[in-house]
């Protein structure tokens, strides 16, 4: 599947609406996975992520980056693996650097991992990003995409359109208030 058509199976929604919808789906799935992992490892609920709401935008942005830029390698596992590993290690480093520079806080720290770069990325997670890219492009996104299409067929277009217009506004408000909280203003 070409990257241009990777987001749109049917023309019920615009490409931008699909991008927004998938961003929020994967941002929520990322938050859920992080929360579940924390619950299993620590034995209690721990607020995960930067925002007040139940999403981790890094997962949403990561998924969209994969869908738009890496899905073209779907038929070449080696290229897909390396493109995912490199792109997401760079993405993780930039996001980690930005969060540290803006808020003087770290949401993850790989300092004690073998072969790390400033504690923001490590060879273990670089390898993991390659594997995750393979699984995401070949299995997870096609599965989610089919479920989304079935759901979209059952829900009125006006509802989905309003939802994808309202969710970014909620994200912006949450980002502003979360930023103010971490900056000590709230």
The values of phi and psi at residue 55, to 5°, are -145, 150
- Is residue 18 within 8 Å of residue 7, measured between CB atoms? yes
Give the pLDDT confidence score for residue 17 in this predicted structure. 92
Can you tell me whether residue 117 is helix, strand or coil? strand
pLDDT block averages, 10 residues each, the chain of length 186: 49 87 96 90 83 92 94 94 95 91 85 89 93 96 95 90 95 94 84
Give the pLDDT confidence score for residue 7 in this predicted structure. 53
Token pair 């059952």 is found at 154
- Is residue 96 within 8 Å of residue 108, measured between CB atoms? yes
Predicted model pTM: 0.84
DSSP secondary structure code for residue 176 in this structure: H
Q: Which two tokens stand for residue 173?
A: 């408000």
Q: How far apart are CA 81 and CA 131, in angstroms?
A: 6
Q: How far apart are CA 169 and CA 175, in angstroms?
A: 10
């Amino acid at each position: 599947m070409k990257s241009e058509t990777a987001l749109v199976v049917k023309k019920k929604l615009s490409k931008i609406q699909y991008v927004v919808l998938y961003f929020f789906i994967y941002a929520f799935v990322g938050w859920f996975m992080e929360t579940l992992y924390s619950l299993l490892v620590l034995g209690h609920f721990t607020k995960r992520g930067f925002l007040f709401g139940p999403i981790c935008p890094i997962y949403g942005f990561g998924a969209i980056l994969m869908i738009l830029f890496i899905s073209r390698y779907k038929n070449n596992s080696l290229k897909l693996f390396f493109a995912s590993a490199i792109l997401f290690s760079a993405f993780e480093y930039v996001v980690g650097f930005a969060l540290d520079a803006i808020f003087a806080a770290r949401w993850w720290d790989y300092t004690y991992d073998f072969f790390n770069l400033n504690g923001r990325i490590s060879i273990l997670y670089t390898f993991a990003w390659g594997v995750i890219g393979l699984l995401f492009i070949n299995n997870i996104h096609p599965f989610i995409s089919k479920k989304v299409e079935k759901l979209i067929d059952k829900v009125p277009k006006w509802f989905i359109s309003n939802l994808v217009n309202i969710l970014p506004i909620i994200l912006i408000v949450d980002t502003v208030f979360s930023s103010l909280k971490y900056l000590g203003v709230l």
